[in-house]
Amino acid sequence: MLVVGYLAGAYILTQAFLRPGRPPKGMETPHAFGLAYETWPVPGSRVPAWYFPGGQDGNAPPFTVVLVPAIGGTVFTLQTESLGPFIRRLHDDGLAVVSVPGFQPRHVSAVLDAVRDRGLRRPVLLGFSIGGSTALFVARTVSVAALVLDGVVDDLGRVLWRDLRRQGPIVRLLLPGMRLFATLHRDVSQALHAADSLPAVSAPVLLVYGEREYLVEAGMNRRLLAQVAQRPDADVFTVPETGHCYGPSDHPDLYARRVLAFLTAASP
């Protein structure tokens, strides 16, 4: 049973961390939100990125917001069912928006390469939960204009193992294999430690937390907040009356205004 648990746990985490998300059948298209879009084939991914062109009257977009999804749902679901109004607000303000079809570091890097190849300006990584952790990890070595990190904590691995342990005996049997996978897969293991990545990032950073954020209980973002407090180009935004990564869907106008204000202030 222990061997089976190890293998099953490693397989499950492999699927969760390494395979890009797939758009669910029957989802709404961006046309439902009045958005034009096109798909890009992204090397190394099984599904393409979606690109929402910005800019008004033929002008080049001042920023290209690159969305990096959280675990448990693809960015396609976020874009069409939750983030549609938020993307439309960014789009109306002239920003281009691109999705990442997964939250593994290689997915983020591949989409950033595609953004550069198409001549889009000032990529901004907007990552949710573990997507924020991997966005921060990638930004250590890849130049971006800014980072917006929603629901990121110091050590996401610790949160993940704690939450999974509470799911019952079957899940606890799978945990050793999951932890072994995370340890052996270096990019995944390092990306889970957001507070270790931040000192190596030169781009301006905006940390975002919901007022009802359950992951920051017991000071799980203490190191990140301390680091941000020491940086003149960093700030914290608390979204009122919302939980973990629900700010853009619960308050799309407020969230978009705050992100736009941060990008404008951070722009040289």
User: So where are the chain's domains?
Assistant: 37-156+201-266
Span 14-25, pLDDT tens digits:
555 555 555 555
**Of the given ranges (65-74, 75-84, 101-110, 154-163), which has the lowest mean pLDDT?**
75-84
Q: Which of 15, 1, 13, 16 is nearest to 175 (CA)?
A: 13
The pLDDT-based confidence of 243 (bands split at 50, 70, 90) is confident
Q: Which of 224, 245, 251, 218 is nearest to 236 (CA)?
A: 224
Distance of CA 152 to the CA centre of its chain: 9
Question: Mean pLDDT in the chain?
Answer: 78
Orientation of helix 2-18 relative to helix 169-184, angle to 10°? 60
Place of tokens 């270790």: 196
The two tokens of residue 33 are: 């939100």
User: CA-to-CA distance for 181 and 191, rounded, in angstroms?
Assistant: 13
The pLDDT-based confidence of 179 (bands split at 50, 70, 90) is low
The residue among 8 and 244 whose pLDDT is bigger is: 244
Span 146-159, pLDDT tens digits:
999 998 888 766 66
Q: How confident is the model at residue 7, as a pLDDT?
A: 45
Q: What is the pTM of this model?
A: 0.84
Structural contact between residues 184 and 123, judged by C-beta atoms closer than 8 angstroms: no
Span 202-239, pLDDT tens digits:
999 999 999 988 777 666 788 899 999 999 999 999 99
Q: How confident is the model at residue 4, as a pLDDT?
A: 44
Say whether pLDDT at 79 is over 50.
no
User: CA-to-CA distance for 202 and 68, rounded, in angstroms?
Assistant: 19
Q: How confident is the model at residue 166, as a pLDDT?
A: 59
Q: Which CATH superfamily is domain 37-156+201-266 in?
A: Alpha/Beta hydrolase fold, catalytic domain (3.40.50.1820)
